[in-house]
Amino acid sequence: SQQGEEDPQALSIQEGENATMNCSYKTSINNLQWYRQNSGRGLVHLILIRSNEREKHSGRLRVTLDTSKKSSSLLITASRAADTASYFCATDSDDMRFGAGTRLTVKP
């Protein structure tokens, strides 16, 4: 099994700007998931992208997957202060492992 690694570790932007976070992994995958964690809370599932998909949208979220580079990116458009959270990717295995996350701060 393997885990994704997110980068950057921390990102600070102004409200209204776009935020991009990246996830890299080491071996082939079937699926990749992104989660959000608000301070003091459990993780919440955002989106799942399959290995045969290149891009997926959900509201202001856009996820891309490049299996040749073994990487994924999460784009949040028109960010809001409420998007302030940590974001994690998780790659597939029976035991679901997570990276250390990207801490996003959106300043009002």
Partner 1 sequence: NAGVTQTPKFQVLKTGQSMTLQCAQDMNHNSMYWYRQDPGMGLRLIYYSASEGTTDKGEVPNGYNVSRLNKREFSLRLESAAPSQTSVYFCASSALAGSNEKLFFGSGTQLSVL
Residue numbers at the binding site for partner 1 (CB under 8 A) = 3, 29-31, 33, 35, 40-45, 48, 88, 90-101
Q: Note the Cα 80 to chain centre separation in Å.
A: 16
CB 39 to partner 1: min, Å? 11
First to last CA, the chain: 39
Q: Which is nearer to partner 1, 15 or 37 (CB)?
A: 37
With beta carbons less than 8 A apart as the criterion, state whether 32 and 4 touch. yes
Of 17 and 66, nearer to partner 1 (C-beta) is 66
One-letter amino acid at 84 equals T
Tokens matching residue 6: 């997110």
Closer of 19 and 43 to partner 1 (Cβ): 43
